[in-house]
Amino acid sequence: MPESLVDVLAGPVLEVAPRLLGARLSHAGVTARITEVEAYDGANDPGSHAANGRTPRNQVMFGPAGLLYVYFIYGMHHCANVVCGPDGVASAVLFRAGEIEGMPPGTARGPAKLCAALGLDRSLTGTDLIAGPVRLELGEPVDPHAIAVGPRVGLRLAADRPWRFWIDGDPTVSRYVAAKPRRS
């Protein structure tokens, strides 16, 4: 029996994240095959938007699983996540990069470019990714030997956690950039 998206998303974030590699995220007639993700584990993760509890910005991260969480960063970019884990416990997987058929590999390399290619913005936060209009569908599981693991990109807190997963050697994957130290 094929695994359902609901069952996959209900799992722990560190199990959900690599399983989303190869999934298809679609909106407005554009589909991206996901090639890179990052896990964020709410209260257990200083790098998560939900590390300090529920706020108006992050409330959708508290579930249920399968909702879209889009946030605005640096005053110019949108980033999209899928909420996962049990209802009431904040966790999400950031979609970092994808392959869009018929487009050059760099079109959706990085979370902001991926959101731009799919037309995702904050107005879609809370969308059920099974019902739409933004849809997520599982792809064939990626061979575990083809999955690379490393630190998340651009974080200052919990930057060393190996919670970034990508399809090794895929040309659509973004390059790693460590966070810049804050000026005092």
> Which pLDDT tens digit goes with each residue over 99-115?
998 899 889 999 999 99
Rounded Cα–Cα distance for residues 89 and 61 (Å)? 8
The boundaries of the domain holding residue 92 are 5-167
- Asked if residue 19 has pLDDT above 90, the reply is yes
Supply the pLDDT for residue 1. Answer: 44
Sequence-distant (≥ 6) Cβ neighbours of residue 133 within 8 angstroms: 27, 28, 124, 127
CATH code of the domain containing 138: 3.10.300.10
Q: Between residues 122 and 184, which one has the greater pLDDT?
A: 122
Domain-located, residue 176: no
Percent over 70 (pLDDT), the chain: 97
Is 184 within the bounds of a domain?
A: no
Is 182 domain-assigned? no
Angle 123-81-3 from CA coordinates, rounded to 5°? 120
Residue 178 lies in a domain: no
Give the count of domains, the chain: 1
Find how far residue 62's CA is from the centre of its chain: 15
Say if 183 falls within a structural domain. no
Which residues lie below 8 Å from residue 59, measured CB to CB, with a gap of 6+?
none
The answer to whether residue 103 sits within a structural domain is yes
Q: Is residue 179 part of a domain?
A: no
Question: From CA 7, how far away is CA 49, in angstroms rounded?
Answer: 24
**177 domain residue, yes or no:** no
Q: Report whether 95 contacts 25 (CB < 8 A).
A: yes
